[in-house]
């Protein structure tokens, strides 16, 4: 019955303490690092998730929208709980619970039954369908399935049901975000372009950003300009809703009519060129007005670029309030730069966060010594290298493309730095290296309220700087010898 591997039956032998110590030391060596970097097939502690997670995020950014996973139900539970843990907010989404027979007959019946039930029970204004592995592998035809669903009246004929193919064996969550977002916009704007009409609004696509504070910050900046705007995939209220004794399944999101009318906008800015290439490409070909793509405005220079672009697109002066805000941020920086200057960092994250971190660190006089992207591209590598080349603090910094957090650990142990910037998953490597981890990306499972503090704009730069500098000061206070423990720092 047992032992189908034909294993030799052995007495249990405990590993000796000497052997353990030997390996414990060995995994911190250059020799191990070399072996670790020679890995061809095994991925250990990757810093990215799969496409459907990003698709669900995008779907939550629209009014009355129910994210709908076409695939196994376990997938939906994983995406939901991941978003719950990061935002500490509800993340309502359904799946059509495909099982083994779906592999044989396809998933159309599940999809139709699921749409009918979801519509009756949760009364959405829009259902955003995206796929997990199973239907992608068996080749379900979503276009036909959804057309048939409407014919069968599983959902009202006039209900928007955008859908996206989001295979998990291709790209990461940012690509799923892009595919879902473009599909939602294509669906909502269909037939809505009106010759000669201009809403006078700026459409702002915030990118696959998991920080609700950032969305509020964009709005605040645009309001300061007095520029009417539509944030596309507006997650601010979806994942930062009030606790007032009542639960609203659809807590926020871009109004569907605003999204529909966005095609007649005066201008569109897509933030995050790595998270929105499909969406931006389609918008460029189809939307009225001007179209610009910009990096995440992290740090002063990139925020300046954003502010100037907004001013240019709308022919407006930068308002005094924003000029003052910039001044205050720079004041905060000059006051505190000495606590970050020259410090070496290891940084990792999604491409758009990554260019932001690197840019921010360089302008503070810090060194992004190890730059890791667990799923990146040549284009990203080139852009990061250009950032490094543009600063004397970028010298001797190295970019590691398509490496994971076990590679990061080897780097931290063999070529030490002062701190890490990334998401919660870096805490293990940072602890082994006895250095702090600054959590700015996604996911953040082990600190509270971080998603409420923006990391973009001038305020974002102040937030990041304050957290970093004060931690270094804390470390000094906690570790210095008594005679150097003093009141002022």
Q: Measuring CA to CA, how many Å separate 278 from each of 275, 284, 286?
A: 8, 10, 12
Judged by CB, which is closer to other proteins: 10, or 378? 10
Judged by CB, which is closer to other proteins: 413, or 475? 413
Here the tokens at position 392 are 């004397």
Q: What are the catalytic residues?
A: 133, 137
CB of 238 to other proteins, least distance (A): 12
Judged by CB, which is closer to other proteins: 115, or 313? 115
Contact between 410 and 428 (Cβ < 8 Å):
no
What are residue 169's phi and psi, to 5 degrees? -95, 30
DSSP string, 63-86: TTEEEEEES-HHHHHHHHHHHHHH
- Find the length of the chain: 489
How far apart are the C-alpha atoms of 111 and 234, rounded to whole Å?
A: 27
Closest CA to 106 of 74, 139, 83, 132: 139
Judged by CB, which is closer to other proteins: 173, or 326? 173
CB of 6 to other proteins, least distance (A): 7
Kind and range of the H or E element at 164? strand 163-164
Write the DSSP symbol of residue 168.
Answer: T
Angle of helix 212-225 versus helix 320-336 axis, rounded to 10: 130
CB of 409 to other proteins, least distance (A): 7
Handedness of CA 448, 453, 455, 459 (dihedral sign): negative
CB of 139 to other proteins, least distance (A): 10
How far apart are the C-alpha atoms of 376 and 124, rounded to whole Å?
A: 36
Closest CA to 200 of 257, 259, 265, 258: 265
CB of 380 to other proteins, least distance (A): 18
CB of 57 to other proteins, least distance (A): 14
Contact between 342 and 367 (Cβ < 8 Å):
yes
How far apart are the C-alpha atoms of 162 and 179, rounded to whole Å?
A: 10
Judged by CB, which is closer to other proteins: 20, or 386? 20
Write the DSSP symbol of residue 296.
Answer: -
CB of 32 to other proteins, least distance (A): 8
Judged by CB, which is closer to other proteins: 190, or 446? 446
Judged by CB, which is closer to other proteins: 100, or 486? 100
How far apart are the C-alpha atoms of 1 and 219, rounded to whole Å?
A: 65
């Amino acid at each position: 019955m047992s032992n189908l591997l034909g294993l030799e039956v052995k007495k249990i032998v405990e590993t000796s303490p000497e052997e353990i110590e030997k390996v414990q030391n060995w995994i911190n060596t250059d020799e191990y690092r070399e072996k670790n970097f020679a890995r061809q097939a095994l991925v250990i502690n990757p810093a990215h998730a799969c496409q459907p997670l990003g698709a669900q995020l995008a779907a939550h950014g629209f009014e009355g929208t129910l994210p709908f996973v076409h695939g196994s139900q376990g997938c939906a539970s994983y995406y939901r709980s991941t978003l719950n843990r990061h935002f500490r907010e509800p993340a309502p989404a359904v799946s059509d619970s495909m099982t083994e027979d779906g592999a044989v007959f396809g998933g159309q019946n599940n999809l139709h039954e699921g749409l009918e039930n979801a519509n009756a029970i949760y009364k959405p204004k829009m259902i955003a369908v995206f796929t997990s592995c199973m239907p992608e592998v068996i080749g379900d035809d979503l276009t036909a399935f959804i057309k048939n669903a409407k014919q069968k009246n599983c959902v009202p004929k006039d209900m928007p049901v955008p859908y996206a193919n989001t295979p998990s064996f291709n790209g990461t969550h940012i690509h799923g975000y892009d595919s879902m977002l473009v599909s939602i916009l294509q669906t909502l704007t269909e037939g809505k372009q009106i010759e000669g009409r201009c809403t006078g609004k700026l459409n702002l696509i915030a990118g696959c950003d998991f920080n609700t504070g950032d969305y509020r910050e964009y709005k605040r900046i645009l309001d300061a300009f007095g520029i009417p705007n539509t944030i596309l995939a507006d997650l601010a209220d979806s994942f930062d809703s009030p606790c007032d004794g009542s639960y609203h399944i659809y807590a926020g999101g871009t109004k569907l009519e605003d999204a529909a009318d966005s095609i007649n906008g005066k201008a569109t800015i897509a933030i995050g060129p790595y998270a929105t290439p499909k969406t931006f490409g389609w918008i460029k070909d189809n939307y009225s007005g001007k179209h610009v793509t910009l990096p995440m405005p992290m740090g002063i220079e990139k925020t300046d670029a954003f502010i100037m672009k907004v001013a240019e697109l709308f022919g407006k002066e930068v308002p005094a309030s924003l000029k003052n805000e910039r001044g205050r941020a720079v004041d905060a920086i000059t006051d505190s730069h000495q606590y970050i200057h020259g410090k070496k960092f290891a940084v990792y994250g999604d491409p758009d966060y990554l260019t932001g971190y690197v840019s921010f660190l360089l302008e503070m006089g810090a060194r992004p010594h190890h730059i890791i992207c667990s799923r990146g591209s040549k284009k990203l590598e080139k852009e990061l290298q250009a950032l490094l080349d543009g600063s004397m603090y970028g010298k001797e910094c190295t970019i590691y493309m398509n490496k994971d957090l076990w590679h990061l650990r080897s780097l931290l142990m063999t070529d030490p730095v002062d701190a890490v910037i990334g998401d919660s998953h870096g805490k293990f490597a940072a602890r082994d290296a006895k250095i702090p981890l600054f959590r700015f990306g996604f996911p953040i499972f082990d600190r509270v309220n971080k998603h409420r503090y923006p990391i973009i704009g001038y305020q974002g730069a102040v937030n990041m700087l304050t957290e970093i500098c004060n931690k270094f000061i804390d470390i000094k206070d906690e570790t210095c010898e008594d005679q150097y423990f003093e009141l002022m720092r």
